[in-house]
Amino acid sequence: MATIRDVAKLAGVSVATVSNSVNDPGRVSEQLRSRVLKAIETLNYAPRAAARSLRKQSSGLLGLIVADITNPFFTELVQAVEGIASQQGFSVLLCNSDEDPAREEKHLQVLRSQWVDGIILATTGDVSLSRSSLLSQIRVPVVLVDRAFDGLGLDAVVLDNRLAAHQATEHLIRRGHRRIGLLSGPTSVTTGADRLTGYREALLASQIRFDPGLVLEAGFREQQAYDATVALMRLPQPPTAVFAANNLMAIGMMRALSDLGLRCPDDVSVISIDDFAWANVFRPKLTTVAQPVREMGEMAVKLLTDRINGHRSGTGSTHMLESRLVIRESCAAPVQATQPAPARAEAAPSR
Amino acid sequence: MATIRDVAKLAGVSVATVSNSVNDPGRVSEQLRSRVLKAIETLNYAPRAAARSLRKQSSGLLGLIVADITNPFFTELVQAVEGIASQQGFSVLLCNSDEDPAREEKHLQVLRSQWVDGIILATTGDVSLSRSSLLSQIRVPVVLVDRAFDGLGLDAVVLDNRLAAHQATEHLIRRGHRRIGLLSGPTSVTTGADRLTGYREALLASQIRFDPGLVLEAGFREQQAYDATVALMRLPQPPTAVFAANNLMAIGMMRALSDLGLRCPDDVSVISIDDFAWANVFRPKLTTVAQPVREMGEMAVKLLTDRINGHRSGTGSTHMLESRLVIRESCAAPVQATQPAPARAEAAPSR
DNA sequence: CGAATCTTGTAAAACGTTTCAAAACGAATG
DNA sequence: CATTCGTTTTGAAACGTTTTACAAGATTCG
């Protein structure tokens, strides 16, 4: 309620002095400053962000758009970003697009007119032309996270998805599996496509023939993964292990296996990308490939604030972080323990 | 970049007309309006929120403070609030206090100077004097959620915690349990205290003597619940069932039981308050008492916007929502199946 | 002692909107 | 024809800060 004028009047100084004693203490004598501070105290004065940002041409706000806040990966990302941002004096405007490109677009519009100082965007779905043009109209710094795309020269921080998928697949291969199912994310987004690539590379490295029938593409959500798992296990010759491309899909997969009466890891081994707090409360405890979520959030904020402060300019680059295999209990040797295969896998007719 | 002046110039009208054709279309002729709209389009103009809210004395921002965003209850609450708020044209400033009263206070300060139109507060811990005085200094509407407190006459939307605890306890009793452990939250907060009360009331209703040795108070987090569960099960005569006061505690409890080599529900039955998306992925599937989280979020936003719009005034009231028992697999009859007890429980010396 | 230099304080302009009050313009009325 | 009355349009005043440019003293220096 109290304005800077009131403070000035009470302290018997000009408004400029009030502003200075708060924002540039060096410019005002100690005596006046303390008088001003006392006046602020008694009036319980707080400057209005709107007026301040109008004048300073910066709002102290960061926009954060995530694809699905109930996904533990994003939840943790939000936690990290909010923590660091607020530590650095920024507030964060949270937007949840719920995997809906239309909502994402609307959120971008809002952020644009809110005139946030920067945006961290975990974009949903693939990049439509309209969105990329909207993005390019936005004059504030944007850093992409989790899912990247080229063409706009934006900074991005992403997982080394090929490595992650490679690690997961290789772990299963080491345990002796040769028929490994993949619950793939949509290949229209980088995370989906790259993880598929990593899977294939791992197979190739172990000279296992890639069987397209073993990879089912689904959305990144639980139910689709459930259905895909059922389909996979009903194959004439089902996989002995399944690799789920993210956490939600892992959950759908676990639920499906359990409903099918399949024991894990006795009947089928499972692994997934995305570690999360309760992975070790599931029975069996889930073996996963963990993303350095917190680090990703930190790096995104760092890149963003660097740009905001002008410490960074020019066209952006993609920063790739490494995943880490977390071995727990969900991977065992396949039932008919195939011996570590001889050079040619095709030798054994697989029908 | 483009300002309202630029639009006015391009369209050949005054700034007032530009403003009107956007905000009060009725006041301007169809012809001019379309000219203005076209100018806006070609200049890609978006009004600056800062200027607008300075003039209108309202920011279109809602503050949302939660105690722990990684707690699925709060995650879902955030999702609900963000969804409805943005649907109503508000953006939400997310603050995570991480169960730290100091951070909560700092967030309140920030929200105050951001001059948000309203605040939804899931307060952490008990209400210290300093916080309640800070809260009372804030001139914007505040609605409490999850944890209420009196004295400031604020609106609040909470679960009927006594009912919830009653339902949980009663369910165990019906299954034949008479020694029921309670992993209680801190009784310094309403959710902790009321759930304890509900537990006792349920015992009383079935004429089971309350045994203080069976209730262990812990924080609302996982690790403390883990420790408490271990302590509980190492009692000379351990409980045959345990009731955890929230979701995180349930998880700690499950982990502890599993580490102790106890099978659930064979060796011990468990139930908890807070349902969450993966409760049915755990083995066994968790029987829980669900909160209507989404509804709580909706109601909180409704109460808040009603106050903001002046549809609601005067001192606030507490709105209590009902919980719902969700029966799954984690509750069975106790091992030495005690028959539905005769009138006097004390008859059978329990040592 | 006058001039130059610091220090400390202030008046006033700007930031980009919305909105009030009045102007401009026709049309209708007496 | 002069008034009155609606309808559109507009000029200008807010909103509450920060910041620039300057003023007024105090201090140092030549």
Contacts of A281 in chain B (CB under 8 A): 251, 254-255, 258, 282
Closest CA to A143 of A316, A292, A314: A316
Q: Which residue of A has its CA nearest to B254?
A: A281
Q: What is the DSSP letter of A25?
A: G
pLDDT, tens only, B100-132: 889 999 999 999 999 999 999 999 866 555 567
- pLDDT tens profile A79-96: 999 999 999 999 999 999
Half-sphere exposure of B140 (CA within 13 A, CB side): 26
> Residue B276: what pLDDT?
87
Pick the residue of A7, A41, A48 with the most B CBs within 10 A to test the interface with B by mutation: A48
Asked if the model's pLDDT at residue B48 lies above 60, the reply is: yes
Structure confidence by residue, pLDDT tens digits, B72-87: 999 999 999 999 999 9
pLDDT in tens, A221-257: 899 999 999 999 999 999 999 999 999 999 999 999 9
Please give the Cα distance from A68 to A219 (Å, whole number). 13
Q: How far is CA B91 from the centre of its chain?
A: 19
Report whether pLDDT(A61) > 80.
yes
User: Are B96 and A76 inside 8 Å of each other by CB?
Assistant: no
CB B123 within 8 A of CB B65: yes
Min distance B231 CA to chain A CA atoms (Å)? 19
Contact A86 B95 (CB under 8 A): yes
Is the CB of A94 less than 8 angstroms away from the CB of B93? yes
Chain-chain contact of A115 with B139 (C-beta, under 8 angstroms) = no
Is 80 exceeded by the pLDDT of residue B92? yes
pLDDT of residue A350: 39
Please check the confidence at residue A186 and state whether its pLDDT lies above 80.
yes
Looking at chain B, how many residues does it have? Answer: 351
The distance from CA B153 to its chain's CA centroid, rounded to whole angstroms, is 19
Task: Give the pair of three-digit tokens for residue B31.
Answer: 């012809």
Q: How far apart are CA B161 and CA B192, in angstroms?
A: 9
Chain D: bases < 7 Å from a protein Cβ: 8-12, 14-21
Q: Which residue in chain B is spatially nearest to A133 when comparing CA positions?
A: B44
Distance between CA atoms of B317 and A64, rounded to whole angstroms?
A: 33
Q: What is the mean pLDDT of chain A?
A: 91
Q: What is the pLDDT of residue B344?
A: 40
Neighbours of A236 (CB within 10 A): 6
Task: Judge whether residue B296 has pLDDT over 70.
Answer: yes
Residue among B48, B57, B84, B119 with most chain A CBs within 10 A, to mutate: B48
Side chain identity, residue B22: V
d(CA B226, CA B337): 26
Q: What is the gyration radius of the CA atoms in chain A, in angstroms? A: 26
Two structure tokens written together for A291:
């993303």
Give the residue ranges with Cβ < 7 A from strand D. Answer: A 3-5, 15-16, 19-20, 22-24, 45, 47-48, 51-52, 54-56; B 13-17, 20, 27-29, 31-32, 51, 54-55, 57
**Nearest beta carbon to residue A113 from set B49, B83, B94:** B49
Q: B49, A114: Cβ pair inside 8 Å?
A: yes
**Residue of chain B with shortest Cα separation from A280:** B255
- In chain A, which residues have their Cβ closer than 8 Å to the Cβ of B67? none
The whole-number pLDDT of residue A348 equals: 39
Percent of chain A at pLDDT exceeding 90: 81
Nearest to A96 among B72, B83, B115 (CB): B83
Residue nearest to nucleotide D15 (CA to C1'): B55
Of A284-288, B122-126, B159-163, B278-282, which one has max mean pLDDT?
B159-163
Does B338 or A103 have the greater pLDDT score? A103
How far: A41 CA to C12 C1' (Å)? 27
Query: Which of A91, A11, A103, A170 lies closest to B87 in space, CA to CA?
Result: A103
Is residue B230 pLDDT above 90, yes or no? Answer: yes
A183, β-bridge pairs: A216, A244
For the ranges A40-44, A151-155, A315-319, which has the lowest average pLDDT? A151-155
Flag if A1 and B282 touch (Cβ within 8 Å).
Answer: no
CA–CA gap between residue A246 and residue A274 (Å, rounded): 6
- Asked if A177 and A240 touch (Cβ cutoff 8 Å), the reply is yes
* Coil, strand or helix at A289: strand
- Classify residue B313 as exposed, middle or buried by CB count within 10 Å of its CB (0-12, 13-18, 19+): exposed
- The token pair at A164 is 């992650």
Q: Where are the alpha helices (DSSP H) in B152-292?
A: 161-174, 190-205, 222-233, 247-259
A69/B47 touch (CB, cutoff 8 Å), yes or no:
no
Q: What is the pLDDT of residues B194-210, one digit of tens each?
A: 999 999 999 999 999 99
B15 CA: nearest nucleotide by C1'? D10
Q: How far apart are the first and last CA of chain B?
A: 79
pLDDT score of B345 more than 90: no
pLDDT at A127: 58
Verify whether the Cβ–Cβ distance B113 to A48 is below 8 Å. Answer: yes
For residue A47, the chain B residues in CB contact (below 8 A) are 113
- With 50 as the cut, is the pLDDT of residue A72 above it? yes
Chain centroid to CA B247: how far?
12
Residue A176 CA, nucleotide C11 C1', distance (Å):
82
User: What is the mean predicted confidence (pLDDT) over A6-23?
Assistant: 96
Q: What is the pLDDT of residue A181?
A: 98
A76 chain-B contacts, CB cut-off 8 A:
70
Q: What is the average per-residue pLDDT within A279-291?
A: 89
Q: What is the pLDDT of residues A131-164, one digit of tens each?
A: 677 788 888 999 999 998 888 889 999 999 999 9
* Contact criterion met (CB below 8 Å) for A63 and A120: yes
> How many whole angstroms from its chain centre is CA B173?
28
Query: Closest-CA residue in chain A for B63?
Result: A93
Q: Is B269 helix (H, G, I), strand (E, B) or coil?
A: strand
CA dist B346 → A77, A173, B207, B209, B210 (Å)? 53, 60, 9, 8, 11
pLDDT tens-digit readout, B139-182: 899 999 999 888 888 999 999 999 999 999 999 999 999 999 99
Q: Cβ separation of A76 and B59 shorter than 8 Å?
A: no
| The pLDDT of residue B339 | 44
- What distance in Å separates residue A209's CA from the closest CA in chain B? 33
What percent of chain B shows pLDDT beyond 90? 82
DSSP code for A262: -
CA dihedral B214, B218, B224, B228 (to 10 degrees): -10
Q: What is the pLDDT of residue B203?
A: 98
